[in-house]
Amino acid sequence: MRKLFFEDSLKLELNVIGYHDQGESIVFFIKTDGIAAYTGLVDCYKTEDQNAVKMVLEKEQVEKIDFMCWTHPHDDHTLGLEKIWEQYCTKDTCFCCTDIIQADLDLYSEEAKLLFQNIRGIHTSSKRKKMRIMYLKDSTQAERLLCVGNTKKYEFRIQSFAPNSAILGERLIGSRDQQGNAYSIGLFLFFGQYSIMLAGDVENQTIRRIADGDIEYPVDYIKIPHHGSKSASFLPDKMRGLNLLAPDIAATTLFRIHSLPEEQVLAKYDNWGCGEIYLTGNMEKGKDTVGYGIVKTTFDILEQNEYDIETELIGDAAVYQKKMAG
């Protein structure tokens, strides 16, 4: 098992990145003594003139990505990923994706198809750089390592809870949109005492069939699935049905043309009792100024600070304000 060593501090930094119109990326770092010792990326997006993923990676002087997950092949989770693959992936990178059926490839964009070609090239070409390719489904462990220091060991683990293998096996997939989201990977990051749920674009048909044992732990942070849409609104109900307390933090990106996130979905998280709900942009038109937003949350694994979880809002990121009736 891989080990990371630290002396004085051990933190997990999670950056949820979104843009004015659409797009979702998550960059996370395990920081040992203030240095990014491990880098993970879940999905990617860029606009013609902005690439916040690249900005975050360059700020931390990242030379390689250790873990990369492409949750599903919709463009709002894909644009720019191929360039990141070429620049930051090495033979030591663990690249996780979903097992797309060949017949569905024509449904997706040219950039998505190029990524599929890259993946096939890893399998078939002796000349392409090799990396560890994993096809994730429910209850699959994708990563495990130990952080060692101060006479203690802290385990970091990544495990998927979606897509649901039974749904894919039954092929209960209809329209173009449904096909992409039915494939969507959902991840848990477990680190020390913390549990973080990155729910991708997982929707209700999958949420209802998540094995209870996959979410038996209290969850400290949820990346709200599918940009806060009604089609993914059952997650709070699922968690409450398991008598799980609401997380300290929930965060979502925007998909403005579809009016996402939806107010009534965010209200469900608020009513559940989430400590704070953050958005990568302002839901009101005309309020965004930078064009992108980052919800940056830091978890102090050693619990040395007064507040063990701290969040910084960068760019257009904002706190959700519940609309009052009347």
CA dist 128 to 6, 120, 196, 291, Å?
34, 10, 34, 36
Alpha carbons 17 and 47: distance in angstroms, whole number = 12
Q: Is the pLDDT of residue 39 over 90?
A: yes
Instruction: Give residue 103's domain range.
Output: 10-319
Render pLDDT for 226-254 as a digit per residue (tens, 0 to 9).
Answer: 999 999 999 999 999 999 999 999 999 99
The mean pLDDT of the chain is 90
- Asked if residue 92 lies in contact with residue 58, where contact means CB atoms within 8 angstroms, the answer is no
| Cβ within 8 Å of residue 320, ≥6 positions away | 266, 270, 276, 277, 278, 279
Average pLDDT over residues 109-114: 82
Q: Is the peptide bond before 163 cis (omega within 30 degrees of 0)?
A: yes
From the list 261, 293, 269, the residue with the least C-alpha distance to 25 is 293
CA dist 217 to 44, 138, 158, Å?
28, 16, 14
Q: Is the pLDDT of residue 102 over 80?
A: no
- Asked if residue 145 lies in contact with residue 156, where contact means CB atoms within 8 angstroms, the answer is yes
Helix, strand or coil, per DSSP, at residue 10:
strand
- Which pTM value belongs to this model? 0.94
Q: Is residue 66 part of a domain?
A: yes
Average pLDDT over residues 103-130: 73
Alpha carbons 38 and 106: distance in angstroms, whole number = 35
Both tokens of residue 253? Answer: 């990106």
Task: Identify the CATH number of the domain in which residue 178 sits.
Answer: 3.60.15.10
What angle separates helix 81-88 from helix 52-59, to the nearest 10 degrees? Answer: 20
| Cβ within 8 Å of residue 153, ≥6 positions away | 146, 147
Q: Is residue 138 part of a domain?
A: yes
Q: Is residue 1 part of a domain?
A: no
* pLDDT (0 to 100) of residue 121: 79
Confidence of residue 284 (pLDDT cuts 50, 70, 90): confident
Q: Is the pLDDT of residue 175 over 70?
A: no
Average pLDDT over residues 121-138: 77
Q: Is residue 23 part of a domain?
A: yes
Q: Is residue 3 part of a domain?
A: no
Render pLDDT for 59-100 as a digit per residue (tens, 0 to 9).
Answer: 999 999 999 999 998 999 999 999 999 999 999 999 999 876
* pLDDT (0 to 100) of residue 323: 72
Q: Is residue 244 part of a domain?
A: yes
CA dist 2 to 95, 175, 291, 312, Å?
16, 42, 38, 30
- Asked if residue 177 lies in contact with residue 139, where contact means CB atoms within 8 angstroms, the answer is no
Q: Is residue 2 part of a domain?
A: no
Please tell me the total count of domains within the chain.
1
Alpha carbons 122 and 116: distance in angstroms, whole number = 10
Q: Is residue 4 part of a domain?
A: no
* pLDDT (0 to 100) of residue 176: 46
